[in-house]
Amino acid sequence: MFLRSGFKLLLFIIFLTVTFPVYSSQVPADLSETCDPKLQKGLKQCLIDLKLDRAASRKTLSIVLVDITDPSSPRMAYVNPNEMMYAASLPKIAILLGAFERIADNKIELNATTRDQLELMIRNSSNHAATAMLNKVGKAYLARLLQSPRYRLYDPKRNGGLWVGKEYAKSGAWKRDPLHNLSHGATALQVARFYYLLETGQLVSPELSRQMKDILGNPAIEHKFVKGLKSVHPQSRIYRKSGTWRQYHSDSAIIEHDGRRYIAVALAKSPRGGQWLSDLIVAMDKIVFKTAN
C-alpha cells in the first residue's frame, strides 16, 4: 500500500514539473543583456526596407523583438527600448498582473465573473471592465507592485516602464508617472520583460502565469500585429494586448508558430502607426526564422 501511494506521489510530482515548468534558476537575470547581433542587424535592415528608419531615429518608434524558443537563451533585438511613450490600452496588462497578485492573496476570487471581466479587458479591450478591475485591485497597490523590487516593471533607472495612473474612463488621472507625466505609459523593454516573465512562469506563480497567458490568447480585435500575421501565418497562436489613441499605436504579443516562439513589442507615434505595426510584425517574423540558425 505504501509503495503504491509513493508511486502515485512520484507521478504527481512529475506531472507538476511538466505542466508548470519553472525557469527562474535557468533564465537570464536581465533581458537587456541578451542582444543578438544577427537579429539586431536584421531588425535594422527591416526598418530601412520599410522606410521606418527615420521614425526610429526621431524616437517616434520603439521596438523590442525577443526569440524565446529556448527560454533559457533568449535572443533580443531592439530600437529605442527605453523610450517611454503613451500606450493607451496596452498597460491593461499591468492591471491583469495586479488582479492575479490579488487572486494569489485571496483578495479577489477567480470565479466566472472575474474571468469574464479579465477577458473583456484584455481580448476586447473593454474600458469599463478595465476600470472596474483597476478599482478592485487598487490604484496605489498596482503602482507599488509595478515598482516593486520583485518586478521592476516601472523602473526610474530604465526611464520608466508600465504605468497605469488613470482609470479607463473620463475621470481625471489619479497619479501620472513620475518621470514623464503619462497616465497610461510603457517602454518596449519593460513590456517585453512582462511577457518574458509570464512565459517563464515568474509572474505571480507558474500556474497563475499560465492562466494569465490563456487570457491574453484569442484576441477579439484583429488589427496591427494580428492583421499582419493572419495575412501570412493564419495558424499562428497570438497572446497579445494592443493600444490605440489618436496618433498613438502600440501592440505587444507572444507569437508561436512552426516550432518557434517570440515576443514582439512596438510603440509608435504617427497617424500611420497602425499600418506600421501590421507591416513590422510580418518583417520581424521573417527575421526570427531567418536568423534562427
**How many beta carbons lie within 10 A of that of residue 71, not counting itself?**
17
Cα separation, 90 vs 38, in Å, equals 29
> Can you give the pLDDT at residue 28?
61
Residue, of 24 and 123, whose pLDDT is higher: 123
CATH number of the domain that residue 223 is part of:
3.40.710.10
Q: Enumerate residues 6+ apart whose C-beta is below 8 A from 144.
A: none
Kindly report, residue by residue over 67-119, the tens digit of the pLDDT: 999 999 999 999 999 999 999 999 999 999 999 999 999 999 999 999 999 99
> Can you give the pLDDT at residue 293?
72
The overall average pLDDT reported for the chain is 91
- Whether the pLDDT of residue 23 is over 80: the answer is no
- Whether the pLDDT of residue 5 is over 60: the answer is no
Burial degree of 293 (CB within 10 A; 0-12, 13-18, 19+):
exposed
Cα separation, 245 vs 106, in Å, equals 34
| Helices within the chain (DSSP H only) | 2-19, 37-49, 53-57, 92-104, 112-123, 127-137, 139-147, 188-199, 206-216, 225-232, 273-290
Residue type for position 263: I
Cα separation, 99 vs 139, in Å, equals 11
- Whether the pLDDT of residue 11 is over 50: the answer is no
* pLDDT band at residue 3 using 50, 70 and 90 as cut-offs: very low
Kindly report, residue by residue over 190-206, the tens digit of the pLDDT: 999 999 999 999 999 99
- Whether the pLDDT of residue 24 is over 80: the answer is no
> Can you give the pLDDT at residue 33?
63
Half-sphere exposure of 65 (CA within 13 A, CB side): 28
Domain count, the chain: 1
Kindly report, residue by residue over 127-180, the tens digit of the pLDDT: 999 999 999 999 999 999 999 999 999 999 999 999 999 999 998 999 999 999
- Whether the pLDDT of residue 21 is over 70: the answer is no
Burial degree of 247 (CB within 10 A; 0-12, 13-18, 19+):
middle
- Whether the pLDDT of residue 32 is over 70: the answer is no
Span between the terminal Cα atoms of the chain, in Å = 51
Domain residues for the domain of 252 are 2-290
Q: Give the rounded percent of residues in the chain with a pLDDT score beyond 70.
A: 89
> Can you give the pLDDT at residue 170?
92
